[in-house]
Amino acid sequence: MVNRPSSHSVKASKDRNLSTPVPAVFSNREWAKTWKTAASELEAIRRAEIKSADTATAIVALDDAFRSMLASLSPRSSSGFVEMQRVFLQSRRDAATD
């Protein structure tokens, strides 16, 4: 279903002088206060959703996607250990020259 503007909003947009700025409904301080208040409520909702989540069902639901991703990966040519040691050695040399 497509949301169409109400006749009130259409009339208001026709009556509005577009060259004048529309005043903000909320100041920045009011927005900050609103979000600060909402933050604790949103955190409570988040915690409740996490607490009520069925982890086993989620794992089963995502298992196929996970296995598909693993199958599409090519094997690594290395673990990255040698490259990381090279980076450490270079940074050690750089620190010694400073």
For the stretch 33-71, pLDDT in tens is 999 999 999 999 999 999 999 999 999 999 999 999 999
DSSP string across the chain: ------HHHHHHHHHS-TTSPPPPSS-HHHHHHHHHHHHHHHHHHHHHHHHH--HHHHHHHHHHHHHHHHHHSPPPS--SHHHHHHHHHHHHHHHHH-
Q: Residue 53 in contact with residue 45, Cβ under 8 Å?
A: no
Q: Where are the domains of the chain?
A: 26-72
Cα-trace Rg, the chain: 28
Q: Is the pTM of this model over 0.75?
A: no
